[in-house]
Amino acid sequence: MHQRRLHERARHRFLNIARAGVTLGLALCPLVATAAGGDGPAVFGIPIDFLLFGLTLIGVGVLHHHTLAVALTGLATITIYKLIFTGFKTGEGVVGFAWHMHHEWVILTNLLGLLVGFALLSKHFEESRVPSMLPRFLPDNWKGGFVLLVLVFVLSSFLDNIAAALIGGTMAGAVFRGKVHIGYLAAIVAASNAGGSGSVVGDTTTTMMWIDGVSPLAVLPAFIAAGAALVVVAVFAAVQQQRYSPIVKDAPVGLTIDWARLWIVALILVIAIAANVFMNTQAPQLADNFPVLGATVWVVILATAGWRKPQWSLVPEAFKGSIFLLALVTCASMMPVHKLPAASWQTAFGLGFVSSVFDNIPLTALALKQGGYDWGMLAYTVGFGGSMIWFGSSAGVALSNMYPQARSVGQWLKHGWHVTLAYILGFFVMLALWGWHPTEKRVKAVVAEPASIVVMADATGSWPRSGIRSYG
């Protein structure tokens, strides 16, 4: 009987993955066919690079207990294939690979520093006992879960989405007795990605637009779609969570806040935000050459270690989870995407599904080079789209380090179905209320001295980078 149940679970999991793969494949095929550019061998018009990446993602979804091994195997396979057969955007063979990694090292190092650093920050926040006091301020029913997701949304509008997701996960663990529903975890990720989509300091893709001359006011309408999507996700997820593990009604008696740890958390976040704003407005060229955000976070962590000792035992597991994400990011960066379909609301809508499995940094850079997009609509689709699959954004991967049960594509799609529904509804709410307002020409100025802020793709095809990207 036990074996039969295991077999049935495996069969249902495979069917869920297969259905999701077919659905996503149908959505991506027109985009991939246009974007691939015809480089290298192809099967039915789809480059083998994409097929290898797709197999890696399927492996991650099916073998979710061995995600690191699958991701590293996929990275090795794709690298060897490109070394032998197709080369890289930056050249052929080992030299081309070396130049490719030279362009990627800042993004990868920032990701590593922030993922591991925010794991320690999240523990500081948990041990400050602020999350345990939340029941005093949250409603006692499903509305408490709703309000918590709104807080994550607000935090993410000016913080990094990883920080917002981890803080949200920490708070959820406290108010739901450590039992957080997978659907609610998906909602935390969705709220963190939605919150940054309308703010030029809330997400890397919107910061890229700002640096390239897109007005912050042009990105702001993304909040129309993001707000609608948040309501959908928050209602369904809060009800799911309340049925699974109700919110704690009362905070523990005699609880006191560890103000030192809370000040450390605030100091890390404030200095990281200040560094990000300074880099984007005064020294954008620095973003291409040094992992400013990752380094800033670690300087503050080490400087305050004597005040309150971080829980260093968290580092090995956080590092392991970070290597998994870095492997997928590197795989995505090697895909032969050279152009996008003609700018339209249909293309913007499709890019949201692409961003659930593909690096949204090159997608955004290509869209900026091409022009003709409604930048608010694009910010929403490439920002929120990664929430549909757990490894589709850095926030999802970071949260899965805290809650390993989230590392199942089938379970994420089954219980977090409302994220995809919210993406679709949010998009069409924006289309109906705001419409499609493409901007063909963009000024190159974002600060008082416009001549100092001009960021364009260089001869090797490198795109501008700002801080940490949101994978998806």
Helix, strand, or coil (residue 376): helix
- What's the 3-state SS for 185-248? HHHHHHHHHHHCCCCCCCCHHHHHHHHCCCCHHHHCCHHHHHHHHHHHHHHHHHHHHHHHCCCC
Tell me how far apart the alpha carbons of residues 275 and 299 are, in angstroms, rounded to a whole number. 12
Is residue 255 classed exposed, middle or buried when 0-12, 13-18 and 19+ CB atoms within 10 A define those classes? exposed
All structural domains of the chain with their residue ranges: 16-452
CA angle (288, 292, 295) in 5-degree steps:
135
Longest pairwise C-alpha distance within the chain: 72
Tell me how far apart the alpha carbons of residues 81 and 419 are, in angstroms, rounded to a whole number. 35
Query: Residues with Cβ < 8 Å from 219, sequence gap 6 or more?
Result: 197, 198, 199, 200, 206, 209, 210, 375, 376, 379
Tokens at 427, concatenated: 């998009």
Tell me how far apart the alpha carbons of residues 210 and 205 are, in angstroms, rounded to a whole number. 9
Cβ pair 182, 16 in contact under 8 A: no
Q: In angstroms, what CA-CA distances link 126 with 130, 169, 189?
A: 7, 10, 18
Cβ pair 237, 150 in contact under 8 A: no
Tokens at 463, concatenated: 């795109």
Helix, strand, or coil (residue 353): helix
Nearest alpha carbon to residue 341 among 372, 309, 303: 372
If you count DSSP H runs as helices and E runs as strands, how many of each does the chain have, helices first?
21, 2
In the numeric block, the tokens 């809650």 are attached to: 403
CA 94 remoteness from chain centre: 30
φ/ψ of residue 320, rounded to 5: -60, -45
Question: Secondary structure of the chain: what % helix, strand, coil (to 5)?
Answer: 70, 0, 30
In the numeric block, the tokens 């490719």 are attached to: 100
Cβ pair 100, 90 in contact under 8 A: yes
Tell me how far apart the alpha carbons of residues 95 and 335 are, in angstroms, rounded to a whole number. 17
Tokens at 431, concatenated: 């289309």
pLDDT in tens, the chain (472 residues): 555 554 555 445 544 544 444 444 444 444 444 444 445 677 777 788 888 988 887 887 677 678 889 989 999 999 999 999 988 888 899 999 999 898 888 878 887 887 788 788 878 888 888 877 777 788 888 999 999 999 999 988 877 787 788 888 988 988 898 899 999 999 999 999 999 898 876 776 786 777 667 778 888 999 999 999 999 999 999 999 999 999 887 767 777 889 999 999 889 888 887 887 787 677 777 777 888 888 998 999 999 999 999 999 989 988 887 888 788 778 877 877 666 788 899 999 999 998 887 767 667 777 887 788 999 999 999 999 989 988 778 788 778 878 888 888 888 999 999 999 999 999 999 999 999 998 754 444 333 333 333 333 333 333 343 334 344 4
Tell me how far apart the alpha carbons of residues 36 and 50 are, in angstroms, rounded to a whole number. 9
Cβ pair 209, 121 in contact under 8 A: no
